């Protein structure tokens, strides 16, 4: 597996997985409450982490949402080794909480990455 890669196997694709995360997952927020993450810890013993990025239609128009999703993906991709020590299957969905297009018409990686790292560290401590 690539060190900085993010292939199809590392993403949540099935509808059942999504409903499991949203129905019985836990929510944590980043410092400043810009972002939030919903996660679900499985008990099958398989060592893999799956992620997804969910952005509401109310946050902004399609081009803005597309850019935010790519930045979130990039931030996770560069920092996913933080979660490499756990042993069960883990499902995580990242979403913006207070972030929207009206407040932040221009998005940059340096703004988003710090919050994602913060979220990942909190996640590791919760396991």
Out of 25, 74, 98, 117, the only residue in the binding site for RNA (CB under 7 A) is 74
Answer yes or no whether residue 16 interacts with RNA by CB under 7 A.
yes
Answer yes or no whether residue 69 interacts with RNA by CB under 7 A.
yes
Answer yes or no whether residue 102 interacts with RNA by CB under 7 A.
no
Q: Which residues pair with 95 in a beta bridge?
A: 36
Q: Which is nearer to RNA, 60 or 120 (CB)?
A: 60
Q: Which is nearer to RNA, 9 or 47 (CB)?
A: 9
Element at 52 (helix H, strand E)? strand 49-53
Answer yes or no whether residue 81 interacts with RNA by CB under 7 A.
no
Answer yes or no whether residue 114 interacts with RNA by CB under 7 A.
no
Residue with tokens 């560069």: 78
Size of the site for RNA (CB under 7 A): 37
Length of the chain: 127
Residues in the site for RNA, rule: CB under 7 A?
Answer: 1-9, 11-16, 18-19, 52-54, 58, 61-64, 66-67, 69-71, 74, 77, 105-106, 108-110
């Amino acid at each position: 597996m690539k060190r900085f890669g993010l292939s199809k196997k590392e993403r949540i694709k099935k509808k059942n997985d999504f409903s499991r995360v949203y129905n019985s997952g836990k929510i944590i927020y980043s410092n400043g409450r810009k972002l939030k993450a919903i996660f679900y810890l499985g008990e099958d013993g398989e060592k893999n982490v799956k992620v997804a990025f969910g952005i509401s239609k109310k946050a902004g128009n399609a081009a803005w949402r597309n850019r935010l999703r790519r930045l979130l993906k990039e931030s996770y991709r560069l920092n996913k080794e933080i979660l490499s020590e756990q042993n069960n299957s883990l499902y995580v969905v990242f979403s913006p909480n207070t972030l929207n297009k009206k407040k932040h018409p221009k998005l940059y990686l340096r703004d988003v990455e710090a919050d994602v790292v913060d979220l990942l560290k909190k996640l590791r401590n919760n396991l």
